[in-house]
Amino acid sequence: MSITPLNIRHIENFKNTDYKASTEFAFTRFLVPYLSDYEGYSLFMDCDMLVRGDIKDLFGCADGDSDVQVVKHKYKPKQGDKFLGAEQTIYEKKNWSSVMLFNNEKCERLTKHYVDTSGGLHLHQFEWARKVGNLPRSWNYLVGEDIDASQYGDPDLVHYTLGGPYFEKYVDCQFSEDWYEYHAEANSVLDTKVVGGF
């Protein structure tokens, strides 16, 4: 298993410029099966998350039948802007694509050309998928958006979708203590100072 950051600058000739894209990985996330040679399972996660559980348990949720599995949130964002003032686009299946467990061999439709020429809503509403399966709710708890964390048990993954404790506005947000603890641990392991949250 490896962890690989998705950097659009490392993907040759990719130029999807749908005006609704608020991050560099808004579309490149759908290239994960292509980048995995359509083999095995791959996991995409947004960068504003903290994994509190054992990630191998998430891979253990693979059902073998779905093209992709997600936490199927049913909510509408509470505010008009996302983090750092980015426009908040409200659409069906919002935040489903923030954690995706791909069954890569079933995602051959997601070629580089297909992802590069598709609209954002088409991709994020999974119009390309034959079957979208479920992941347990504990694997994508939306900090500040989900009303009751107890519905998730003890969340395995918290998603600072409005902004995390690395921004002044959210220094005391829910699960900020966990972030500070892991941040301090990362600094001690590296024996150097980690600046920022990413």
pLDDT tens profile 14-24: 777 665 555 66
DSSP tag of 43: E
For residue 173, is it within any domain? no
For residue 175, is it within any domain? no
For residue 151, is it within any domain? yes
For residue 1, is it within any domain? no
Binned at pLDDT 50, 70 and 90, residue 6 comes out as: confident
For residue 152, is it within any domain? yes
For residue 3, is it within any domain? no
Cα–Cα distance for residue pair 128/115, rounded to 1 Å: 10
- Of 109, 85, 94, 99, residue with least CA distance to 31: 109
Overall domain count for the chain: 1
Q: Is 132 exposed, middle or buried (0-12, 13-18, 19+ CB in 10 A)?
A: middle
Cα–Cα distance for residue pair 174/197, rounded to 1 Å: 16
Mean pLDDT in the chain?
A: 85
For residue 182, is it within any domain? no
Q: Distance between alpha carbon 66 and the CA centroid of its chain, in Å?
A: 18
Residue at token pair 């069906």: 92
**Structure token pair of residue 65:** 């039948």
Is the pTM higher than 0.95? The answer reads: no
Three-class SS of residue 127? Answer: coil
DSSP tag of 64: S
For residue 194, is it within any domain? no
Which range marks the domain in which residue 66 is found? Answer: 8-160
